């Protein structure tokens, strides 16, 4: 039983589909009810919707349940987790993938020339929503004394990318994973953060069609991230990993999975070094 937020397309869809391939029931959340209502890149509407992702989960072997949900709205998140608890009474995996990708992030302008509201957009959906969803999930997972909470991050928690608000938000996701792990450890609930590589999302592919300088070599498919989540969800030693960030490509080497094309993307560890670590993992316990 899993919840994947921000799963209309991209990384969220890949994660939901791969969990479905493991036979999971997956609640697929997002703001796009129908493909025609999705966001656009230079006038091109990006494909994907919660319904299409839920159908993909079911085709993969699981059971997809689409839920139109704005992760910035606490009441909608409460309704979502209330539905999960009422209908199934348990929750095994939460993946906090929801994030607002604003065109302003890639404008190249310094932070003082960008509207202050960009900070709120990035943090409301991406950091605060991660905390709220984790709070609601923990109220289901703690009594059952098992579960996994995953935050989606990247090396940009460590290396500058786009603008200040973006990097601080990604660092906050990593710190959330660490602190959640500290409080959840006695209840055997794990919390980890994933550092992704360059993902071939619909948005990236649309941009590449317009800009031949965008190199899609050594990219990861959204499903590659999903295979990392599926491997972690089935790891009997998952608590030993809790409170840390992990490169998806490093997990592929360890667990022995490849991307959907059979390739093994290179880890970015060589470029950016190890993921952030906040002190000793639960070292004061």
pLDDT at site 116:
92
Full domain range(s) for residue 93:
2-272
Q: 162 an active-site residue?
A: no
User: Given 27, 162, 166, 247, which residue is catalytic?
Assistant: 166
**What is the count of structural domains for the chain?**
1
Q: Which residues does the chain have with pLDDT short of 50? A: 281-285
Whether 279 is covered by a domain: the verdict is: no
Q: Which residues pair with 25 in a beta bridge?
A: 63
Whether 278 is covered by a domain: the verdict is: no
pLDDT at site 40:
60
Q: What is the pLDDT of residues 141-173, one digit of tens each?
A: 999 999 999 999 998 888 888 889 889 999 999
Query: How far, rounded to the nearest angstrom, does the alpha carbon of residue 232 sit from its chain's CA centroid?
Result: 13
Contact 161, 119 (CB under 8 A): no
Q: Is 171 helix (H, G, I), strand (E, B) or coil?
A: helix
Whether 159 is covered by a domain: the verdict is: yes
Whether 284 is covered by a domain: the verdict is: no
- CA-nearest of 174, 184, 183, 190 to 247 is 174
pLDDT at site 96:
97
Long-range Cβ contact pairs of 87-92 (< 8 A, separation 24 or more): 88/1, 88/25, 90/1, 90/140, 90/144, 91/1, 91/2, 91/3, 91/137, 91/140, 91/141, 91/144, 91/147, 92/1, 92/2, 92/24, 92/146, 92/147, 92/148, 92/233
Whether 258 is covered by a domain: the verdict is: yes
pLDDT at site 60:
97
User: For position 256, which CATH number holds?
Assistant: 3.40.50.720
């Amino acid at each position: 039983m899993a919840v994947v937020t921000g799963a209309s397309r991209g990384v969220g869809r890949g994660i939901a589909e791969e969990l479905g391939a493991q036979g999971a029931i997956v609640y697929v959340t997002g703001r796009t009810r129908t493909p025609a209502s999705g966001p656009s890149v230079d006038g091109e509407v990006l494909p994907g919707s919660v319904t299409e992702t839920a159908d993909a989960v079911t085709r993969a072997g699981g059971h997809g349940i689409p839920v139109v949900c704005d992760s910035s709205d606490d009441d909608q998140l409460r309704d979502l987790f209330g539905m999960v608890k009422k209908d199934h009474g348990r929750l095994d995996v939460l993946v906090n993938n929801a994030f607002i990708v604003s065109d302003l992030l890639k404008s190249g302008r310094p932070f003082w020339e960008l509207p202050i509201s960009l900070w709120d957009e990035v943090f409301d959906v991406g950091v605060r929503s991660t905390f709220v969803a984790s709070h609601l999930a923990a109220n289901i997972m703690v009594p059952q004394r098992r579960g996994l909470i995953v935050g989606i991050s990247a090396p940009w928690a460590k290396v500058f990318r786009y603008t200040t608000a973006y990097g601080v938000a990604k660092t906050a996701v990593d710190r959330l994973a660490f602190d959640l792990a500290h409080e959840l450890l006695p209840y055997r609930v794990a919390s980890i953060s994933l550092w992704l590589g360059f993902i071939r999302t619909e948005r990236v592919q649309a941009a590449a069609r317009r800009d031949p300088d965008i190199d899609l070599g050594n990219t990861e498919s959204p499903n590659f991230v999903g295979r990392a989540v599926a491997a972690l969800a089935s790891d009997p030693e998952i608590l030993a990993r809790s409170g840390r960030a992990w490169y998806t490509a490093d997990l592929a080497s360890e667990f022995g999975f490849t991307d959907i094309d059979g390739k093994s993307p290179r880890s970015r560890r060589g470029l950016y070094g190890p993921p952030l670590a906040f002190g000793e993992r639960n070292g004061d316990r």
